[in-house]
Amino acid sequence: MTPAEFRFTLPGGDELVARAGAVVAVCAGDESGADALARQVAERITSGVSPVYAWIDRRRGLVPALDVAENIFMGHERRRARGLFRGGIDWKRTRDDAASLLAGLGSTLRPVDRAGDAGEFDRLVIEIARAEARGASVVALDEPSARLSPAETIRLLEVLSGLALRGAAVLVVTQRPAEALGYADELVVLRGGAIVGAHPRSSWSGAAEGGAAGAEARDAVRDRVLAELVGPTDARPAAPATPPSPGSPLLRVTGWSTFDPVEPERALVSDAALEVRAGEIVGIAGLRDSGAESLLLSVYGRSEGTGTTGAVELDGRPVDTSTVEKAIAAGLFLATTSAPRYRVRFVGGIAMPVSASKLPALVSLGLVDRDSDTAPREGLGATMLGAARALGKGGDEAGHIRGLVAAFPASDRRVLLLGEPFRGSTEAQRAEILSHLEAARAAGKAVAIASADLPALLALCDRVVTMAAGRVTGEVRAGADPAALGALLAPG
């Protein structure tokens, strides 16, 4: 019998296919493909039609004050049967069924344990158990091992394999191709909203698995995946002028760390350092959630993150950039297509927009926590206390960026910080941005660009600093081998 197939259409028109009984790892070089997948799964969940889909985000969708069993069966409660009628909740059956699901997933949690006290692996298991309790045919997870220890990651991979053996189609969105080669039946690479690579398990395993030949096959597939994530360096036009030799350091950031405002124990940026010289354009390359944009946003007036530490120097002198006003006075200029804003929804459905800088206060008051729904869609948290949704900027983002970049060379600002400046731009608009950046370089100003558009960074920048999981992982010069860059962006 042919396994059931579940198809998802990507922005570029390609179809991503998940099959019952198989684990597909989806490595996304940028946000477009992964976001499209998340939206389609969410739409199928909310439609309520068969088959059942489950999406498990990095921010767990649990109610911490309820126990484990209540979280597993929330919205699908086990009720007592009274003839043709169904009565109140059957708590014994609820907890017995929860215990059976947890045992099957390798968890030592008890159904009566408080969900808020569970560790990260068990919190993930609760969500997977919820999916199984609802009979999910498709279970999609976003970077599930991101916050797990190596031992917990091994346990998780066993859980995912078990899900597939029981007939589920499992999709794992990840930026850890080396790890994915250990559990996936197929590894699919997305970039620019299209499939740019598909690698079945047979391409890296088989008779030679376990020996030197098997290791070589895995390494070869990993290298191909990394190159596909980066893309061809000639995919974008190179900068029109030969860059001059840069001058003395203009911007220096040292020991920089900042933390998630909703989960203050989770670092967005860890002990990062960045130096940009006068007349130099430096790229900060990072895949999704690498910390590249968070670094620039937090330097510019703490526009993202909380508990920020580190030092900023301009022209060798310490400067205070702790507010946007002070960052502007110091000579910084920021333009980004993805500055975070949030809408917090309170009991009764009343919603209010807040900036990222306000989130720490809401967290300290207990109005928002790590179980709040911060995905850019409605969810369980949207009807509960402290649901927070991340919102993108509206309007013509590309036009906004072009206007700011065009004004920079003639302004009195000396350092330009850019976040994803090419997003949403046509080739002609991209060329316009490049010409303005060349003017800034010729004027002896410093430019730092955070982007997942790796071909553009390699073509334009004098140097490219790489980040992964909030840490600086290396640096390459213009024209470097894309495979070398890929290995720094996805070291796992």
For residue 212, pLDDT beyond 60: yes
pLDDT digits (tens, 9 = 90+) for 89-111: 888 999 999 999 999 898 889 99
- Count Cβ atoms below 10 Å from residue 160 Cβ, excluding itself: 21
Could you tell me the CA-to-CA distances from 109 to 112, 114, 160, 359 in Å, in that order? 8, 9, 18, 31
CATH number of the 5-230 domain: 3.40.50.300
- Average pLDDT score over residue span 66-88: 79
Render pLDDT for 128-187 as a digit per residue (tens, 0 to 9).
Answer: 999 999 999 999 998 898 888 889 999 999 999 999 999 999 999 988 888 899 899 999
pLDDT of residue 77: 83
CA 388 distance to own-chain centroid? 17
d(CA 335, CA 420): 9
Contact 323, 275 (CB under 8 A): no
pLDDT given for residue 125 in this prediction: 93
Write the pLDDT tens digit of every residue in 269-288: 999 999 999 999 999 998 87
- Six-digit token string for 264: 């203050």
The CA distances from residue 223 to 146, 172, 208, 345, 427, in Å, are 21, 20, 18, 44, 29
Domain pair 5-230 / 235-338+395-489, same fold: yes
Give residue limits of the domains in the chain. 5-230, 235-338+395-489, 341-391
User: What pLDDT is recorded for position 256?
Assistant: 97
In CATH, which of 3.40.50.300, 3.90.1150.10, 1.10.150.450, 3.60.15.10 is domain 235-338+395-489? 3.40.50.300
pLDDT tens by residue, 9-37? 988 889 999 999 999 999 887 666 788 88
Task: Flag whether pLDDT at 240 surpasses 50.
Answer: no
